[in-house]
Amino acid sequence: MGATVTPTTALSHRPVPLTVSEEVADALHEGRPVVALESNVITHGLPYPDNAATARKVEQAVRAGGSVPATIAVEGGRIVVGMTDADIERFASTPGIPKVSSRDLPVVLAQGRTGALTVASCLVAAELAGIPFFSSAGIGGVHRGAATTMDVSSDLIQFTRSKVAVVCAGAKKILDLGLTLEYLETQCVPVVSYRSDDFPAFYCASSGFRSPLRLDDDELVARSIENHWALGNRGGFLVTTPVRPEEAIDGEEVDAAIVEATAAADRDGIRGQAVTKYLMRAVDAATEGRSSRANMAVLISTAEVGGRLAAAYARLRAGL
């Protein structure tokens, strides 16, 4: 059974309905490293049963890195931190579970509904639970054409609000990655590439843009994150790690597929949140399924790095 906790905010005395699994609660109590994981990749990523199998492999990768995984969802109007294997199977095999971002979370909780959490909403839940690390394959960013559409992912906004370190493989190639980096700089979000000179692009090893900073040592990354918060910053810290070379997709091949798919999306009137899913499926078709396999690979490799860095941070905190 999980432990039910009721954190409150400074402006409200109403408890937030939050249930933390026994394993995660014990780890947090003992100061052991925990890595938060999103449930949206289970329900809106790969098809069943690949989604369930991949979610389990992602949790195993976090453990291989030396940390405890905490996949997060909303069920019955409660935030569940640390999904069980049965939870993962149910979410993976149930069609129609909605995606819940940070702006949707208060309403979904009030209505007593169930939903899969995105990067942004997971950051909210992770901070409430006291989990300082989160891992995801690829974050959202500034969309192509944002100068006219104003389409900017809520992930970027949430980085400025949640005190959680994010380990990822950069941002998706379908985005305007140059503007994404500019936005992160404007919002004073540190961007560090782990053992790479370039800012990666999800299942492409490089976005074509150099990373602002590079660090190769786990302890240096941990100290940098601790310094960021010690300096009074309330927001997050972004650490990127590229997909392994043998699992990467050629960037030029993906770009060609994106250009064609973007034109088709405009022609078919695809707008808003539907654009990302449309473009990702188009890239998968153009690469004959190789991008889906790379998607699975990068989820796992990123989670393992997240587990290692969270463990380094826990060691640092234990020595303070």
Instruction: Name the CA dihedral angle for 205, 202, 165, 69, rounded to a multiple of 10 degrees.
Output: -110
Q: Residue 38 catalytic?
A: yes
CA atoms within 13 A on the CB side of 168: 27
Instruction: Say whether 255 counts as a known binding-site residue.
Output: no
Distance of alpha carbon 247 from alpha carbon 45, whole angstroms: 18
Q: Does the annotation mark 252 as catalytic? A: no
Distance in angstroms (rounded) separating the CA atoms of residues 100 and 105: 6
CA distance 222 to 225: 5
Q: CA dist 124 to 117, 128, 155, 308, Å?
A: 10, 6, 11, 22
Q: What share of the chain is helix, strand, coil (3-state, %, to 5)?
A: 50, 20, 30
Give yes or no for a contact between 202 and 137, defined as CB atoms under 8 angstroms apart.
Answer: yes
Q: Is 292 annotated as a binding residue?
A: no
Residue 65 Cα distances to 77, 161, 226, 297, 303, angstroms: 32, 27, 20, 15, 8
Q: Which of 113, 298, 318, 306 is nearest to 194 (CA)?
A: 306
Q: 217 among the known binding-site residues?
A: no
Q: End-to-end CA distance of the chain: give it in Å, rounded.
A: 32
Selected catalytic residue, list 38, 59, 127, 304: 38
Please identify which of the residues 172, 173, 247, 304 carries the catalytic annotation.
172
Ligand-binding annotation for 93, yes or no, is no
Q: Is 67 annotated to bind ligand?
A: no
| Residues in binding site | 99, 119, 151, 153-155
Residue ranges at the known binding site for Mn(2+): 151
So which residues are the catalytic ones?
A: 38, 172
Binding region for substrate: 99, 119, 153-155
